[in-house]
Structure 1
Amino acid sequence: MNGALTILRRSPRATAGAVMVLVMMLMAVFAPLLTPYSPTSQEYGAWITPGREHLLGTTALGQDVWAQVLYGARTTLLIGIMAGLIATLIGTSVGLAGAYFGGRVEDVLNVITNVFLVLPGLPLLIIVSAFVRGAGIWSIILVIAFTGWAWGARVIRSQALALRNRDFVQAAIVSGERPGRIIFAEMLPNMAGLIAANFFSTALYAVLSEAGLAFLGFGDVSTVTWGTMLYWAQARGALLQGAWWWIVAPGLLIALLGTAFALLNFGIDEVTNPKIVHSVGATKVLRRRKKERAAPAPTGTPALLSIRDLDAGYATPQGRVRAVRDVGLDIAPGEFVGLAGESGCGKSTLAFAATRLLDAPGAVFGGESVLAGQDLLDLSSEELRRVRWKDYSMVFQASMNILNPVIKVREQVYDAMQAHGVTDRAQLDARARELFRLVGIRESYLDAFPHQLSGGMKQRVVIAIALALEPKLVVMDEPTTALDVVVQRQILQEIDAVRRRLGISILFITHDLSLLVEMSDRIAIMYAGEVIEEAPAKVLYADPKHPYTRKMMSAFPPLDGPRERREGIPGRPPPLSAELPGCPFFERCPSRMPGKCDAHKPASVELSPGHRVACFLHSDAVKEFSDAAD
């Protein structure tokens, strides 16, 4: 029940569809209260036009059309709902069983499904209906259900096959769970949205099929449905007599019912898989206005990327989750900036929000992200498409998995260049070979498929693609996490060499501070959505100021010196759904000052050139909150 209410709250389409279906169901249930006439009585005079006595006029036989509409809703809705339920049950059972058990079970079920898929739907319905004609409404329901389940079975099987190979299902199998529990407790809940969408699609198919069969005279025309109303209207020549109301009323209601089912289907897709709606668009920006800010103090080199008061996160039914909280960060041309912090501290959200790559339900609530003089948060989707990969590019976490397994590496390297106007094959080939030499891969691997490359080689390919158009900025989100330490070091050295050769800027996100200290020009430390310390890499390593930074530094054992015990950081980060009036590290800090650190948020102050820290141990300055998200 809560899930249905969530769908209605979050999707205007689903709400509109549910209201339309509810109105039709109320019409069916309260038909005796809405009309005093019987739908089959022929006592009211033929061809009476709509008026006060007969709202929708009468038929050629003197039947009240409004009464037939109300009572016909009962049968039409019953056919749609029951046929949809039966077909969905069959399709779900066949799809799940074939995907889970595999082998001969899957082969047999696939053959049966394919047979029903290749048989033409309407002719099959007509043939079967001709044999059961006059057998009652349930025969029509069963005929429609048994001829309409196959497409849903194919879709559910495809999704179930993907789930079958997921780690959590494999873990359930290894732990000894029975197949029934795995299917119903592990797999089925992950497919609830797809199954619900399949039900509404099948219910719509059932309503339209019944109307088509009735119109052709193959249904039970003695029963009042919206479809049989159309049959009798055309049989009696309603349009020739000018009795348009006899055809318009049931035809319009069938169309509205189909629209309602389609809206519910779209609404479920929107809520259960928001990427369907937002995957091709840019990150939603919810800021209402820009606030005039004082110009930053002049520095020797203007920033390539200037992030100011960035406030971003996720818009959920329970409220906003602010994963990035009023963050400011500058990256100079040619600079290698490292971004470190615990899992869940907002590093990736910061990078994706600043570059407008944060997927729904992610959104930017306020602030600015100015790259080379233009605010990325102000650009349209088309403007962003022209900027991406040309001015900035991305190397995603575990990005070796983003290569398409059925397309050769060469074509995937070409894609970004072709999207930005490079069409000459000789030029594309020369640039691809140059990129492979740049990242240390033999040129012959351009004609390989991704599965023919090792993990480290695939990672280099992705980095080469990111460098294809020589962007000013490359954002790397833990690109070497899945690789062994030797390959990690090789790739990082190559990245640094390419950066120095091409003069590009890099924002590198990782958990490994030891890597950042060696490779970065400057390091920013994030905690609970805030940048709490920022300094040149060597300065941060030699003299970390924030207690959190010192704790992180001490968690990594040195390679030489006396053996000593290392400890983690006790406690856990605060939930990002909560507002934090004070220092976010207060609960875990060994140097906390109750009454001060938990009541006021420390401002970020510069202790030495380029070294900023937000901690009351070093300054009493209190942060002034921005209203960028207002």
Structure 2
Amino acid sequence: MTTIRLRRPRMAWLRTGQLGFLTRSPRATAGLVIILVMLLMAIFAPLLTPYDPKAGIFDPWLRPSLTHPLGTTALGEDIFSQLLYGARLTLLIGLMSGAIATAIGTTLGLAAAYFGGRVDEAINTLANVFLVLPGLPLLIVASAFLRGAGVWPIILVISLTGWAWGTRVLRSQALALRNRDFVHAAVASGEGPGRIIFREMLPNLAGIIAANFFSTALYAVLSEAALSFIGIGDVGQTTWGTMLFWAQGKQALLNNAWWWVAAPGLSIALLGTAFALVNFGIDEISNPRVGRAGKATKVLRKKGTAPVAEAPQTGQPLLSIRHLNAGYLTPRGPVRAVRDVSLDVKPGEFLGLAGESGCGKSTLAFAATRLLDAPGVVFSGEARLDGKDLLAMSPEELRRVRWKDYSLVFQASMNILNPVIKIREQVYDAMQAHGVQDKKKLDARARELFRLVGIRESYLDAFPHQLSGGMKQRVVIAIALALEPKLVVMDEPTTALDVVVQRQILQEIDEVRRRLGISVIFITHDLSLLVEMSDRIAIMYAGEVVEEAPADEIYRNPKHPYTRRLMSAFPPLSGERERREGIPGRPPSLAQDIPYCPFYERCPSRMPGLCDMKKPASVEVEGGHRVACFLHSMAVKEEESRAPLASD
């Protein structure tokens, strides 16, 4: 048996820490390099040019040369010197105005969202007033009163006229956060408003705050350039804006001195591009799904895998997973959430995946079916559906297979229904994507599906909000069954429903499965539910399948200590009342190698010197009953290979 050991990539320290996004995002790197170059130009201007930017000691209208890289102005001033020194005030105005306006907008936006009521009303009214007032005319009027007063009044004016938009955006996002469960939990635990706002809410808004800062900084640079260009700003200062003012006033273009206009204009455009690139980069790091939505799961295994097999013969598994290693690429290194898992699903079989939260159940199912969202990846292994390796398919091949050969019902999947589109159109969607366009066929199939899952056909013309939670869950299951796939993966589809509706839906799922011959992978942490519904159960722990057997065998004779502890956590419906206990301790970190039994630290039957030194192999101890435990077999799992992790 060959698995893969992940090795921390070289220079991994560059990907960690507060500035780790420098190396993790090419966009952020490019933007920060541009900004850094401009800052160095501004700081070291006296070393980069020997000329005073205001000294008109040269001949006018000189063309670019080695002595004057950007030529001279109509007054004999060196344009390159003006560009370097002008970067100082331009960057100061942009960065300071952006920081002040963002601080104001963030404080007011979070305060309005958190406190609500009169505070929200007052802040919202004030923001609306500033948004209604025309921005540029307001700047012109305010700057006219402060004309010639220097740079700081301009920064103040731009900051006080540029905060309102960011406040509105941040308030709307913070309002959604304010109603999240983790904020309610913080309030209930007695945390103060300041801690909740800055510790709980602020980190979740990092991308929006960064976007607000960079957009306001660019707005400040452009505003200063506009004010200077029309002569309202302090034209006695040297900025990129005043360079444009003097170039226009001295008719540079008419004198064929286009470089006088191009140098500050392109610099402002380049600075705006740098701000945008850094903002995109921060968005990529704060939200790994940005830019990756809709893409298939990244597969990092080596190319040149075995050729695709033909369709399985009778008695062969429908889905065959072999030595699958999958997980997540994080700034601190890879996390292996699935470790060398081999598993089969037979045609028409109901396979249950059980285990504690975080044991790798969903990651296994999603990785095998190429539905693992970024930053999730498949490191190695195979997943063959009907003989076709899903991990070797192109995006177009996957598009043709999904929903037709296999489909998925997500956890709390009732939330995936679009609230503004009728149920009928959403049921049609998957069928239309696979070539069914005839309206009569679509309508007949939709009605058949609704009868199949126990919903009145009249609800096809309803909107999602008109259906109960159980009905919406049935709609999602109907969509998953629309093309009669061979395999349906269900990730805790009934978790948010009451027990009565859960039982109804599960019975309907089982009835549909038997009628259509569909295979089902049912993921849950409720082992008692699987014992009743499943044909076979696989128990996962720390990314590994530690026991696999028919459901009745798991119930009557669980062999792995972890399975026994899970079974004993559920009270029986009859007999004397007994005290039930949980499993002490916690699973090991999946970011590290585990060359021993993963359950060792929590196992009541552990054998020091063996269980903490070697990893047990999964062995069939009875017909169809496999277990990875030294209590039942002394077989040791083969040493993992030392193959390095492919680069991201």
Please tell me the TM-score bracket, short chain as reference: over 0.9
* Greater RCO, 1 or 2 (C-alpha within 8 Å, sep 6+): 2
> In the alignment, what sits opposite 2:608?
594
One-letter amino acid of the counterpart of residue 143, structure 1 = V
Bigger shift: 424-433 or 457-466?
424-433
- Contact preservation (8 Å) 2:139, 2:158: yes
One-letter amino acid of the counterpart of residue 427, structure 1 = K
TM-superposed deviation, 1:439:
1.0
Tell me, in whole angstroms, the C-alpha distance in 1 between the residues paired with 2:639 and 2:445: 48
Tell me, in whole angstroms, the C-alpha distance in 1 between the residues paired with 2:606 and 2:187: 47
Bigger shift: 517-526 or 420-429?
420-429
Tell me, in whole angstroms, the C-alpha distance in 2 between the residues paired with 1:425 and 1:299: 37
TM-superposed deviation, 1:300:
5.2
> In the alignment, what sits opposite 2:630?
616
Sequence identity, in percent? 75
Asked if 1:432 corresponds to 2:412, the answer is no
> In the alignment, what sits opposite 2:254?
240
Asked if 1:333 corresponds to 2:347, the answer is yes
1:542-597, CA deviations, whole angstroms, 9 ceiling, x for partnerless residues?
Answer: 22222222222222222234544443323221111121111111222233222222
Bigger shift: 55-64 or 44-53?
44-53
* SS of aligned partner of 1:526: strand
One-letter amino acid of the counterpart of residue 638, structure 2 = E
* SS of aligned partner of 1:242: coil
Structure 2 portions without partners, runs of 5+: 1-13
> In the alignment, what sits opposite 1:473?
487
Residues 294/200 of structure 1: CA separation in 2 closer, same or farther (3 Å cut): closer
- Contact preservation (8 Å) 2:308, 2:389: no
TM-superposed deviation, 1:291:
5.4
TM-superposed deviation, 1:508:
0.3
TM-superposed deviation, 1:316:
1.0
> In the alignment, what sits opposite 1:201?
215
One-letter amino acid of the counterpart of residue 486, structure 2 = K
1:366-393, CA deviations, whole angstroms, 9 ceiling, x for partnerless residues?
Answer: 1112222322222333332332222211
> In the alignment, what sits opposite 1:289?
303
Bigger shift: 320-329 or 42-51?
42-51
- Contact preservation (8 Å) 1:408, 1:447: yes
* SS of aligned partner of 2:39: helix
Tell me, in whole angstroms, the C-alpha distance in 2 between the residues paired with 1:621 and 1:599: 13
- Contact preservation (8 Å) 2:177, 2:201: yes
Residues 204/524 of structure 1: CA separation in 2 closer, same or farther (3 Å cut): same
Asked if 1:92 corresponds to 2:134, the answer is no
1:83 is aligned, of 81, 94, 97, to 97
Residues 524/177 of structure 1: CA separation in 2 closer, same or farther (3 Å cut): closer
Residues 285/560 of structure 1: CA separation in 2 closer, same or farther (3 Å cut): same
Tell me, in whole angstroms, the C-alpha distance in 2 between the residues paired with 1:469 and 1:487: 25
Tell me, in whole angstroms, the C-alpha distance in 2 between the residues paired with 1:426 and 1:128: 66
Residues 201/190 of structure 1: CA separation in 2 closer, same or farther (3 Å cut): same
- Contact preservation (8 Å) 2:105, 2:167: yes
1:142-541 → structure 2 map (5 Å cutoff)? 142-290=156-304, 301-541=315-555
TM-superposed deviation, 1:76:
0.4
Tell me, in whole angstroms, the C-alpha distance in 2 between the residues paired with 1:126 and 1:374: 67
1:563-582 → structure 2 map (5 Å cutoff)? 563-582=577-596
* SS of aligned partner of 1:224: coil
Asked if 1:70 corresponds to 2:47, the answer is no
One-letter amino acid of the counterpart of residue 240, structure 1 = L
> In the alignment, what sits opposite 2:155?
141
- Contact preservation (8 Å) 2:486, 2:518: yes
TM-score by length of 1: 0.94
Tell me, in whole angstroms, the C-alpha distance in 2 between the residues paired with 1:174 and 1:214: 53
Structure 1 portions without partners, runs of 5+: none
* SS of aligned partner of 2:315: coil
- Contact preservation (8 Å) 2:308, 2:388: no
Bigger shift: 487-496 or 185-194?
185-194
TM-superposed deviation, 1:340:
0.7
- Contact preservation (8 Å) 1:309, 1:626: no
1:38 is aligned, of 52, 56, 59, to 52
**Cα root mean square deviation, aligned:** 2.5
One-letter amino acid of the counterpart of residue 571, structure 1 = G
Tell me, in whole angstroms, the C-alpha distance in 2 between the residues paired with 1:354 and 1:389: 15
Count of equivalent residues: 629
Tell me, in whole angstroms, the C-alpha distance in 1 between the residues paired with 2:639 and 2:464: 48
> In the alignment, what sits opposite 1:12?
26
Residues 488/145 of structure 1: CA separation in 2 closer, same or farther (3 Å cut): same
One-letter amino acid of the counterpart of residue 361, structure 1 = P
Tell me, in whole angstroms, the C-alpha distance in 2 between the residues paired with 1:293 and 1:606: 29
Tell me, in whole angstroms, the C-alpha distance in 1 between the residues paired with 2:610 and 2:309: 30
TM-score by length of 2: 0.91
Residues 18/612 of structure 1: CA separation in 2 closer, same or farther (3 Å cut): same
2:131 is aligned, of 87, 97, 117, to 117
Tell me, in whole angstroms, the C-alpha distance in 1 between the residues paired with 2:445 and 2:306: 44
